[in-house]
Amino acid sequence: MAHSVFPSLMPADNVLSDYGLCQTSDIEEARSVGERIFCSNKIYSKDPKFNTRVNYRRVNSLGVGRMTYGGETVIDPDVMELFSLVQVPISGREFIESDGKRALFESTQGVVLNSHARTRIHHFGGDKIIIRVDNEVVRRQCQQHLGRTLHKDVEFDAVMNLDTPDGRNMVKMLAWMCDVLSTSDKLSPLLSTQFETTFVGMLLSCQPNNYSAELCEEKGQSIAPSFVKRIEQYIEEHAHEPISVGDLAEYAGVSTRSLFAGFRRFRNTSPMHFLKEVRLRRVHEELLRTPPSSGAVTTVAFRWGFSHLGHFTTDYKRRFGETPSETLQRS
């Protein structure tokens, strides 16, 4: 492959490098690791380059990892019952058969392996990003968006096109997640919740599924400004707590789709972006009251849910016209 669609800020080998589960040329050991984090499986390989490497980290209901089998390998997993698996290539390629349909997984094409689907994977080397997501979380967030109970599980199209605007947005978000997870030993509850809700929301929005038409349907009804103000007040009062889009929708008694529509129409932003701006303001206020000391910026930023200091500093400087350290020196 000439280049990777995965735009990580760090070399691929450094992604989740501190979270290695195994590196082995023993097929039975590789099978056992796969069973521990995914499901029962069988692995076949006669390639002398076979060398399974798995780096993996759990974040709430998500499991995020980087893995390779090294050489040509066939993986025959049992049916996944409680989760779906998203795969995005860094390098290499795979042929994947899922419920009788075959897809080539390489370069600008990822794949979603739905639960309850019979799958067989023919791996030809290279690395991939994997995201294990629990069905119940996807179902709950979809219900919150639609404002009703689902009668069928969410089923995604198997092929994930990564060279479309939606696909590029998805891999950018995954790259950000992987960079943060690779460099932050501890995640605040605020950031862990944000990872879960952002990833599942992006998946529902960007990857075609059996509820896509309904999720994208525009409602004619409007939301009164007083509703938006109530949510803004809630965020102001609870910004120090983990808050998800679902929490806000439940508080307001509306679907998350209506929630987004209200903020888009009356505030030209999203509720989660508003939450981030409130937290940036709280960091600014706290830094102005904090005596200058080594590590103060990191401590305050982490307390308000900002774990990736590079992204935080960029957002902070955009908002206040100076770096957090410059603010601290003025305190």
The structural domains of the chain, ordered by start, are: 12-179 (2.60.120.10), 227-331 (1.10.10.60)
Instruction: Number of helices (H) and strands (E) in the chain: give both, helices first.
Output: 12, 12
DSSP 174: H
Q: For residue 134, give both structure tokens.
A: 């629990």
Residue 224 in this model has a pLDDT that exceeds 80: no
Are 157 and 190 in contact by the 8 Å Cβ rule? The answer is no
Per-residue burial over 63-91, b = 16 or more CB atoms within 10 Å of its CB, e = otherwise: bbbbbbbbbebebebeebeebbbbbbbbb
Average pLDDT over residues 58-63: 92
- Cα dihedral 259/262/265/270 (nearest 10): -40
Task: Count Cβ atoms within 10 A of the Cβ of residue 182 and give its class: 0-12 exposed, 13-18 middle, 19 or more buried.
Answer: buried
Q: For residue 172, give both structure tokens.
A: 């950018």
What pLDDT, in 10s, does the model give residues 110-164? 999 998 889 999 999 889 999 999 999 999 888 888 877 787 889 999 999 998 9
Mean pLDDT of the chain: 87
What pLDDT, in 10s, does the model give residues 62-96? 999 999 999 999 999 998 889 999 999 888 889 99
H-helix or E-strand spanning residue 57: strand 52-59
Q: For residue 32, give both structure tokens.
A: 């056992």
Residue 229 in this model has a pLDDT that exceeds 90: no
Average pLDDT over residues 221-236: 75
Residue 184 in this model has a pLDDT that exceeds 70: yes
Concatenated DSSP letters of 233-282:
HHHHHHTTS---HHHHHHHHTS-HHHHHHHHHHHHSS-HHHHHHHHHHHH
What pLDDT, in 10s, does the model give residues 286-301? 998 888 887 799 999 9
Residue 9 in this model has a pLDDT that exceeds 80: no
Share of the chain above pLDDT 90, in %: 47
Residue 164: partners with Cβ closer than 8 Å, 6 or more residues away = none
